[in-house]
Structure 1
């Protein structure tokens, strides 16, 4: 029996089986009315970010100028089309993430990464504060080759900034996006639907240099 607060990622042999059918959602962003489903405008870019509980993380990005649309979901694991309950067991390997579709002529990836770094503590491994488990780990999943150098640069710069303040090393997982699975409808734009809902975002107080 796997613990609810698992701190180890499953292997393909131990991961939950999942399903072939995606979770059905309306596809309409509750805040701006745009579609959360591809295809997106060709000139826009996509980055997938995980910084703990995805409720507050999504609000952070949908409020940023230049962000076209956001959606929450699961990525980085083994189980196809997982449910929220399955993800919380630790047996899918997925992190809670936000898909961010943005207009690069209005906001650059470095600015999105600065918001990402400053909104959470990327040194905590498989947790964010009191939220403990592999699903809460810090992750960045890139969607094209040009994004990786920018991500690596920002990680190195923020890691140095944290160390100068006597904090630990960045543990953020960085990888190309394999698959993004939409979370259930009630999770989408959760804090717009439930303004008094839980938001676990808490940064370190260390500013992220953007160069």
Structure 2
């Protein structure tokens, strides 16, 4: 017998390889250029640019926040951290791909540092909620930092430790943010790229905790150039 709670349970628990959807061998169609900047979405990116990847709930509002940041060259939304290769948006929404909605951020470290991007990330959402952000419930909405290189990884860990102490001092819960080396990034469909530029009154559920994030010195190191 099927109970409605069965689907909810799947959405808040990551699937194993046997449960995951099969996906496909080829990438799904997407945009070739950024809707706002008109720059190539998939590169090649200019020499000296670096790459970051963040998951902080619904990727529509998250992407806008980063493309509006000075020093960011280009952004793209997609799926990462799961099992299913080349998933579609409807597939990720089932919770049976294991992916989080993420934003790929290509930035110029001479203008904006990785530490500054971490500060934006932490303050823009609530990293204590587990498999959700507000009313958005499911594994796709989990908080995540996927790092490129050991320097970024150390910086992310140091920032998490520092911000968790600040949140606890403010009476908030512990951080549930996943920090891991960057997995495969699958570009989302064209309609999701720069969604809020195309739909200015579209849905955005970003809401921080109101607790400022003081990035420690250990997190204020240069990142690794994008390939």
Tell me the TM-score range normalised by the shorter chain.
Answer: over 0.9
The answer to whether the aligner puts 1:64 opposite 2:69 as a matched pair is yes
User: How many angstroms apart in 1 are the aligned matches of 2:76 and 2:181?
Assistant: 18
Q: Tell me the TM-score normalized by structure 2.
A: 0.91
SS class of match (2:172): coil
User: How many angstroms apart in 2 are the aligned matches of 1:140 and 1:108?
Assistant: 15
The answer to whether the aligner puts 1:113 opposite 2:113 as a matched pair is no
Aligned twin of 2:223 = none
The answer to whether the aligner puts 1:29 opposite 2:34 as a matched pair is yes
SS class of match (1:146): helix
SS class of match (2:7): coil
- 5 Å-filtered alignment, 1:83-162, equals 83-162=88-167
Q: State the Cα RMSD in Å.
A: 1.1
The Cα of 1:70 is off from its aligned counterpart by 0.1
User: How many angstroms apart in 1 are the aligned matches of 2:199 and 2:57?
Assistant: 18
Larger Rg: 2
1:51-85 deviations in Å (ceiling 9; x for gaps):
00000000000000000000000000000000000
Equivalent position to 1:46, from 35, 43, 51: 51
User: How many angstroms apart in 1 are the aligned matches of 2:65 and 2:41?
Assistant: 16
Structure 2: which 5+ residue stretches go unaligned? 217-227
Q: How many residues align?
A: 211
- Name whichever structure is richer in helix by fraction: 2
User: How many angstroms apart in 2 are the aligned matches of 1:147 and 1:41?
Assistant: 20
